[in-house]
Amino acid sequence: MKKILTLLLLAALSTFGQSEDESQIKAIYDAALTKGKAYDWLNHLSNQIGGRLSGSVQAQQAVDFTKVQLDSLGLDRVWLQPVLVPKWVRGTPEYAFIETSPGLTNTVPICALGGSVATPPAGIKANVVEVKKIGQLAELGRSNIEGKIVFYNREMDPTLINTFQAYSGCVDQRYSGAAEAAKYGAIGVIVRSMNLRLDDYPHTGSMSYGELPVPERIPAAAISTNGADLLSATLKLNPGMKFYFKQNCKQLEDVESYNVVGEIKGSRFPDEIMVVGGHLDSWDLGDGAHDDGAGCVQSMDVLNLLRITGYRPQRTLRVVLFMNEENGMRGGNKYAAIAKSIKERHVFALESDAGGFSPRGFSFDCSSSNFDRILGWSKLFEPYGVHSFKKGGSGADIGPLKNDEIVLAGLRPDSQRYFDHHHAENDTFEHVNKRELQLGTAAMASLVYLFDKYGIVIE
């Protein structure tokens, strides 16, 4: 038997309700496409602030900027939620070359992976062993790996239509490659960038040494896809070639940072909390425009658009700009821990963290009853082409809020171009299309509106 959180369901299912929903959603889209603030905010975040790695000056500037902007929206409450974050710094630009014979070198573009240790000050130079999978290390054994640089070169699978699947199929190389290679005596790791395109941008991203003791940790860097192809081809021609790289990145002490939170108190059900959010931190190489400046400004704009269209939420609606998704998840964990400790009841959370591209739909992590109900709303999204509703996955930052009741959701934009820019120097404002960004915001605001109006299904 199901209890519906609100009494409005019958009205909703009536023709009148349906047409009211259509009108409200149309009003949201019109407002997003003509009065949305997301694009201008993103311009500032990208071009006036730039990359916002946790603990950086830019991350703090982003906290300050978004708080001021939320303050200007006339919300009921805006606050900063302190959270201790890791501080990893890249240091001076990395440098690498392929040496086919002494003095004969080709420089290649690399960047340290986030969390990596530095090389010794003079860099390291060694023979290279190429593998496609971590599992190959065991086959090769210590005798073939010790003293060498392991080069992980598995490509993202271009035949997967959803590029996030292709990413998932490769990212273990980046995340665990160094820890695994170190066990066999490797002295460094080079990883092919998680990029479906051939170009010259190395793509950073988080890595972990797991339980590996500090003295055994080896430096890890990403190489651009063109660089990876060159390295692989050179290695085939000349297995005795050497690879040199140098990086002086460093893990510093944790520092205090913040989640930025803005809230409209619910008019009827203030204790039912809905969250819409993205993560405010980004990698340092680009400007974090798609990842995840886009998700932050869209989330902020959701509250702005509801206000513009005169919609007063009956449930409490919060925008949360999470800190430290990229290399620690401290913000998402802290937000959920506080919510739990003060017994807040979250009924719905929506994250946008897949880029500011043309939206195609949403993914949901929720009960079947809720998903069935959501499917019933898809007709409302059809005129906007955002009606691909799928089960599975939401967003990293809202994941810690999961319980038996809550509906978690993620905006799902077209994924084709995302990994051209992901964690790389070219994740910049000019690669975000204004209308595509706005349409994502409108889709998010429409979904929030429906959850606010109809609540969630309780089993």
**Contacting positions for its own copies (CB under 8 A):** 29-30, 33-34, 158-159, 161, 163, 196-197, 358, 360, 383-385, 388, 414, 416-417, 420, 433-436, 439
Closest to its own copies by CB, 154 or 360: 360
Q: Which of 360, 383, 381, 393 is nearest to 449 (CA)?
A: 381
Q: Checking phi first, is residue 413 left (phi over 0); if not, alpha (psi -120 to 50) or beta? A: beta
Neighbours of 254 (CB within 10 A): 15
- Cα separations in angstroms, 363 against 383, 392, 436: 19, 6, 18
Q: Say how many residues make up the chain.
A: 459
Least Cβ distance, residue 350 to its own copies (angstroms): 21
- What minimum distance in Å lies between the beta carbon of 148 and its own copies? 31
Query: Cβ of residue 14: shortest distance to its own copies, in angstroms?
Result: 26
**Nearest to its own copies of 146, 430 (CB atom):** 430
**Closest approach of its own copies to the CB of residue 196, in Å:** 7
As a whole number of angstroms, the distance between CA 438 and CA 36 comes to: 7
Q: What is the DSSP string of 153-219?
A: -PPP-TT-SSHHHHHHTTHHHHHHHHHHHHHTT-SEEEEE-S-SS--S-----B---TT--GGG---
Q: Which is nearer to its own copies, 224 or 247 (CB)?
A: 224
Q: Which amino acid is at 62?
A: A
Pick between residue 318 and residue 360 the one whose CB is nearest to its own copies. Answer: 360
Q: What phi, psi does 246 have (nearest 5°)?
A: -145, 130
Cβ-based nearer residue to its own copies, 29 or 348: 29
Sign of the C-alpha dihedral, residues 347, 353, 358, 362?
negative
Nearer to its own copies, 26 or 250 (CB): 26
Residue 320 to residues 70, 263, 275, 302, 401, Cα–Cα distance (Å):
11, 9, 7, 11, 13
Cβ at position 16, least distance to its own copies in Å: 24
CB of 34 to its own copies, least distance (A): 6
The residue among 141 and 383 lying less far from its own copies, judged by its C-beta, is 383
Closest CA to 75 of 323, 262, 243, 340: 262
Nearest CB to its own copies, comparing residues 56 and 163? 163
CB of 438 to its own copies, least distance (A): 9
Phi, psi angles (nearest 5°) of residue 290: -75, -40
Would you put residue 166 in left (φ > 0), alpha (ψ -120 to 50) or beta? alpha
Q: In whole angstroms, how close is the CB of 21 to its own copies at the nearest point?
A: 17
What is the smallest separation between the CB atom of 98 and its own copies, expressed in angstroms? 26
Cα 121 to chain centroid distance, Å, stands at 32
Instruction: Closer to its own copies by CB, 25 or 62: give it.
Output: 25
